[in-house]
Amino acid sequence: MLGLTKVASADVAGLGVRVNAVCPGPVETRMMRSLEAQINPAAVHDAYSGSIPTGRYATPEEVANVVMYLCSDLANDITGTHIVIDGAARPGPAERCGASNNSSAIPTLVFLIAPAAARPETHNSIFRKTGLIG
């Protein structure tokens, strides 16, 4: 996923498009509660959050704030990179973003940010170039 982010960002940077990956660790969501419930909710939550240096899961708002920042004008020159939101947990960023063969890797969000002034035909060109449409 990280390689795809780098390649896609290089391919479309000249068009004013940014491509970045957001790699969240555990997030305090209903999905996490469901996963914990399959074993022992309190024990799994305590053990897993206890292994995170911050001592807690990230919140959905914290993940959204990173995405909002990357979509803002404050991040105009940030492209081709990834941001890990995991409270300094391990494994490292490459594994967190699915670079390993570990089937339990946390999903990665990859997104394209097109300039506001881009016309629809520019968007179609970008999607064709990145392989998102044929």
Give the pTM: 0.71
Angle at 86 between CA 107 and CA 76, to 5 degrees: 80
Domain of residue 74, residue span: 2-27+58-130
Distance CA 28, CA 3 (A): 28
Domains of the chain: total: 1
- Other residues' Cβ atoms within 10 Å of the Cβ of residue 56: 13
Q: Where are the beta strands (DSSP E) in 43-96?
A: 82-85
pLDDT digits (tens, 9 = 90+) for 48-91: 899 899 999 999 999 999 988 988 889 989 999 999 999 988 66
> Is position 39 within any domain?
no
> Is position 22 within any domain?
yes
> Is position 119 within any domain?
yes
> Is position 107 within any domain?
yes
> Is position 47 within any domain?
no
> Is position 52 within any domain?
no
